[in-house]
Amino acid sequence: MKGDITPKRKTDHIEELDRELYDPAKEHEQRPRRKIHGRDIELEHDFPDDEYETLVRARPKYALPTSLFKKIFFVVLTFFIITIFVAGISLYGGKQKVSEDLIAMEILGQPFVDGGEELELQIRIQNFNEQDLQLPDLVLSYPKDSAPDAERVFLRRSLDDIGYQKRVTETFDLTLFGQEGDTRTIDATLEYRIDGSSSIFVKEISHDVIIRSTPTAVLIDAPDTVVRNQEVTFGMHVSSNSNVPINNTALKVTYPRGFEFLRSNVPPDFNDNTWYFNNIDKDAEYIEFTGRLAALEGQGQSFTVSFGKQNQFNKNQIETVFNSIVHTIEVQKSFLTTQLLVNNTLNPTSTVRGGSSVDVTVRYENTLATALDNAVIRVHLDGELYNRN
């Protein structure tokens, strides 16, 4: 149009292609495409062909270093995987494992008991493990007496399997013997097995019981002082303090050095110092013996009296001591000392000529600070060589 000064818009190549593409009247012909070059590109080089191929195919001697971030990432990832693995094993194994700390055991009983009387003990067991305690055995043990190396008594009882949170109560009746004030430690041991293991596991607890009184009483009837080489009489009263019969007991006296046994009202059953009793009841048994004590003046000589249960394998030994008493007798100087001189000599043995006279002198001395009244000194003469005429 004449006079139209509006500039014509320059057609874009892309828009032209777009119009032609969507123009239905336009016929499209397939244009030839440019060929794609192959991978084999020859580069100009000055190397021989064999050396060039070697250089191209050779791997680098050193790999490029991994970044610090990648290293940290791989370390954290590895640690995370290991943690999950261990946690899984622990979670699975926790159900298979049995802990001793998850087994509750206690002994219920009196802390004091009279010797020879029956003591009732209850052992309570409760399992807090998820696994059962299989083939459990409960073992109760205690010493026969208070000696450090005393023989122990064992009582074993088999139980049914103990399941999760199951409680078991077992009752035992014991009879303890010993001296007054002795302590008996009673041990309770639970032996059990778990599924998948052939080992035997144990849980142990203990309970102390003090002997409040002895089942028997022993009283000593003996002097506290004696004159050297003079006879001394020692008496012992034995009776029962218990309501139950005390059978198969023995009384044993340990003599001091220098004591000579002379006689007794009841003959000893063993070694001049041991007497047996089949039964001890409320009626006291009395044993008395007489002997001579030779010791230095001023010394104290001790007699130890032991009474208790006989050893079933050796009747001469006391297995469990009920009573043990020590009685000390002090050897004193005689208040009247004498000396016998034969022909003015103190020798115990003197030699004289037959038919000759013998001069015998008796010396005596009062060792007390006060005078002695009505003192009598007797001289005994004996033997075939003595002629009264």
Number of H helices, E strands in the chain: 3, 19
Look at residue 263 and give its three-state secondary structure.
strand
**338 forms bridges with which residues in the sheet?**
364
Residue 293 phi/psi, 5-degree rounding, is -110, 115
DSSP strand pairing (300-310 vs 336-342): unpaired
CA distance 101 to 126: 11
Comparing CA positions, the residue from 133, 111, 301 lying closest to residue 225 is 301
Annotate 122-159 with b (16+ C-beta within 10 A) or e (fewer). ebebbbebebbbeebebebebbbbbeeeeeeeeeeeeb
Assigned domain for 224 exists: yes
CATH number (domain holding residue 178): 2.60.40.10
Q: Give, rounded to a whole angstrom, the gap between the first and last alpha carbons of the chain.
A: 207
* Residue 212 contacts residue 114 (beta carbons within 8 Å): yes
Same domain, 115 and 221: no
Q: How many residues does the chain have?
A: 389
Assigned domain for 38 exists: no
* Residue 288 contacts residue 270 (beta carbons within 8 Å): no
User: What pLDDT is attached to residue 320?
Assistant: 84
* Residue 265 contacts residue 286 (beta carbons within 8 Å): yes
Same domain, 309 and 364: no
User: What pLDDT is attached to residue 160?
Assistant: 94
Q: What is the pLDDT along the chain (389 residues), one digit of tens a residue?
A: 445 555 555 556 677 777 776 766 666 666 666 666 555 556 565 656 666 666 656 655 555 455 666 777 777 888 888 887 776 665 555 455 778 889 999 999 999 998 888 899 999 999 999 899 999 999 999 987 767 777 889 999 999 999 999 999 999 999 888 888 888 999 999 999 998 888 899 999 999 999 888 888 899 999 999 888 788 999 999 998 887 778 889 999 999 988 999 999 999 999 999 999 988 887 889 999 999 988 777 788 999 999 998 888 888 888 888 888 999 999 887 777 778 888 888 877 777 777 777 788 888 887 777 887 888 888 777 766 666 65
Same domain, 312 and 230: yes
CA distance 161 to 167: 11
Q: How many domains does the chain have?
A: 3
The pTM of the whole model exceeds 0.85: no
**Which of these three, 188, 213, 238, is where a domain ends?**
213
CA distance 192 to 136: 4
**Which of these three, 213, 246, 281, is where a domain ends?**
213
CA distance 191 to 209: 23
Same domain, 175 and 149: yes
CA distance 379 to 337: 14
**Which of these three, 190, 213, 236, is where a domain ends?**
213
Same domain, 347 and 315: no
**286 forms bridges with which residues in the sheet?**
237
CA distance 338 to 342: 13
Name the residue range of residue 205's domain. 100-213
Report angle CA 145, 147, 152 to the nearest 5 degrees: 55
The conformation of residue 102, written as its DSSP 8-state character, comes to G
Same domain, 322 and 357: no
CA distance 322 to 117: 13
CA distance 121 to 173: 6
Same domain, 233 and 289: yes
* Residue 300 contacts residue 328 (beta carbons within 8 Å): yes
Same domain, 346 and 359: yes
Same domain, 292 and 358: no
CATH number (domain holding residue 267): 2.60.40.3670
Task: Pull the structure tokens for residue 5.
Answer: 């000064």
